[in-house]
Structure 1
Amino acid sequence: MARIVQFHEAGDADVLKIEEVDVPAPAPDEVQIAVRAIGLNRAEVRFRQSAYIQKAQFPSKLGYEAAGIVQAVGSQVSGFAISDVVSVIPTEDMARWGTYGELINIPARHVVKHPSNLTFEQAAASWMMYIAAWGALVQQAGLKAGDFVIVTAASSSVGTAAFQVAHAVGAKVIATTRTSAKAHALRDAGADFVIATEEENLVARVMEITKDQGARIAFDPVGGPNIAILADAMAKRGMIFSYGALNRDGGPFPQFPVVAKSLTVKGYLYSEVVDNDDTLERAKAFILPRLHSGEFTPLISRLFPFDEIQAATRFLESNEQIGKVVVTVAGSAHG
């Protein structure tokens, strides 16, 4: 038996319940992990609210990220042993392989022996954000030295990870945020330029920064009317990645700038990386050495204990954070 977070109906954070559940032995291709830290993501909020691409079957587990200690390995698993310190790359099914719990089973291809310089909290905060940023910016867009990339809603964990991924290839980051309240913190986190969109004209500022060339790439979790504004700020043959759909309101499709600038507007999911073995291995090869060297350092906004899982997800939903919200899990009989 182990304590696992489940929910029995869609709703706000109050529906999250910590329940005693019998955790089975790992399947032949799985690794069982005694969890020490859990990284929270907005996708899990949307899943809980029944507003995500995956729908829950109740009672449902949830969660994409965690770090901990290997407790058991499936009969077909090689490369992992009991007591290994590991972290979880998000799976394609958080209901089946939810990470909000003391003891979890995860497919071995989604488990990594993370560098020893990382704490459990940092390791649990790493994989969704770096995988998501790398997949769009490097793997698909070919971001390179001298490029400008607009990162919207930049105080999110994926946003701050995108700063580090961009800098790793020599690109410049234009971060956007609604007001100037977070501007100093975003610069500290690595943004080369910050635009407060409620106080400044985004298009005019981007053109000023890029000497009227526009940005080659935009990495946008907001969507809605935001796409039309970004289109006007793009360079010719630029790419807009829409990956979060935080704004559920429709907006006008920016047909004229899309055609006039030969823009690509692409929907993007992290699963485009993790559902392909070769792409996933390339992502690991890009991310792991930089985590080890310290070039990539996960930015953690705030820690919460496991018993405060509802408060932790409410804080995530408040938009007050800059970086990752992480839940810590105390040691137990599981490891």
Structure 2
Amino acid sequence: MKSIIFDQIGKPANILKLIEVTLPEPGPNEVRIKVIAAPINPSDIMFVQNLYGIRPQLPSGAGFEGVGIIDALGEGVQMETGMRVSFTSVGTWSEYAIAHQRSLIPVPDAMSDEVAAQLFVNPFTAYAMVQDSGVPEGGWLMITAAGSAFGKLVIQLCAMRGIKTIGTVRRDDLNDELKALGLTQVINTETENMAARVKQITEGNGVTCVLDSVGGHTATEAFKCMARGGTMLIYGLMSLQDPIMNAGLIIFRELTVKGFWLTDWMRRVDRQTRQEVAQNVISLLTSGKIQLPVEASYSLDQIVEAIEHTERPGRRGKILMKP
């Protein structure tokens, strides 16, 4: 079978290569999946560069989630071959992948392959983070990099819950689209003073919670925008630069800064909570109430072009790999 592999750490476009490998066999509690589609997420890019919470064991496959058809069962698996499932694993940019049965989510017929391929990482993270934000109906939540696929999900979820949102962007070309999704206010970090605008928008109160994936100067400025008792949840570091936190603000506004990683959240919450989130996410996606647009799809032998497309500014949807 063909699979995207890397045997050294570096920029994805420079080190990822398509090679022929032996068809894997599932072990106990595992299944083999014929992959239909798998997205390129920021976490995938960070993983290849050894900048993620999970460290690659070289040589390694790439890609953390996807959708496919179960084609072989390991010992102890109670599922059936031929079932279409969303799944997580390491190495989903491949013709076949091995996944633990705990990571499988049966996909309803009404859900397209393009949506099912993106079912886990962004939707579950967005749903869980909006829950953990503690922002009540009518309150203010701020999301940095609002034009990202994740940002768009948060905007839609907040709009459904009556939570007002402020989103930061670096360009204005997506503003109309973001407002159509439900974004209350948009701030261009290149042309506007973030703290001054948030103070104006919130009538001097600030925001209850900031969801940040950028770090660096953007997160440093967003930190100044929080209301007394506010919380910043950091789930990424796209700038690859640490933010600077003002100790005085932390003390005198009683602010909290926390990290968020979906892998740990899934371990931390009970089985019932995980099932409820899965059911709610699937319902929202199947009904079309939440959109997961796709901008382009590429075959495995087009991995360099796919990565380069992912890194273009102003994308309006996810990039998928389709073996």
Give the TM-score, by structure 1 length: 0.89
Q: Does 1:101 align with 2:100?
A: no
2:3–2:300 Cα contact (<8 Å) kept: no
Q: Which amino acid aligns with 2:304?
A: Q
The residue that corresponds to 1:303 in the other structure is 297
Work out which of the residue numbers 189, 192, 198 in structure 2 matches 1:197. Answer: 189
Give, in angstroms, the shift of residue 322 of structure 1: 2.9
Q: Which amino acid aligns with 2:281?
A: I
The SS at the match of 1:166 is helix
Work out which of the residue numbers 202, 208, 211 in structure 2 matches 1:216. Answer: 208
- Identify unmatched segments of 5+ residues in structure 2: none
The residue that corresponds to 2:120 in the other structure is 127
* Worse overlay, 219-228 or 102-111: 219-228
Work out which of the residue numbers 151, 154, 167 in structure 2 matches 1:159. Answer: 151
2:39–2:318 Cα contact (<8 Å) kept: yes
The SS at the match of 2:308 is helix
The residue that corresponds to 2:23 in the other structure is 23
Q: Which amino acid aligns with 1:152?
A: T
Q: Which amino acid aligns with 2:6?
A: F
Give the TM-score, by structure 2 length: 0.92
The residue that corresponds to 1:85 in the other structure is 84
Distance 2:110 2:196 in 1: 42
Give, in angstroms, the shift of residue 101 of structure 1: 0.5
- Please show how residues 104-119 of structure 1 align to structure 2 within 5 Å: 104-119=97-112
Give, in angstroms, the shift of residue 247 of structure 1: 2.2
Cα displacement string for residues 147-184 of structure 1 (whole angstroms, at most 9, x for unaligned residues):
21111111222111111222232212211111213222
Give, in angstroms, the shift of residue 288 of structure 1: 1.7
RMSD: 1.9
Q: Which amino acid aligns with 1:83?
A: G
Q: Which amino acid aligns with 2:222?
A: L
The SS at the match of 1:206 is helix
- The number of residue pairs the alignment matches comes to 320
Runs of 4+ displaced beyond 3 Å: none
Q: Does 1:60 align with 2:52?
A: no
| Distance of aligned partners of 1:300 and 1:167 in 2 relative to their CA distance in 1, 3 Å threshold | same
* Worse overlay, 159-168 or 3-12: 159-168
Distance 1:145 1:163 in 2: 14
- Please show how residues 1-335 of structure 1 align to structure 2 within 5 Å: 2-12=1-11, 13-78=13-78, 80-88=79-87, 90-91=88-89, 94=90, 98-138=91-131, 140-276=132-268, 278=271, 279-329=273-323
Give, in angstroms, the shift of residue 40 of structure 1: 0.9
Give, in angstroms, the shift of residue 110 of structure 1: 1.0
Distance 2:95 2:312 in 1: 26
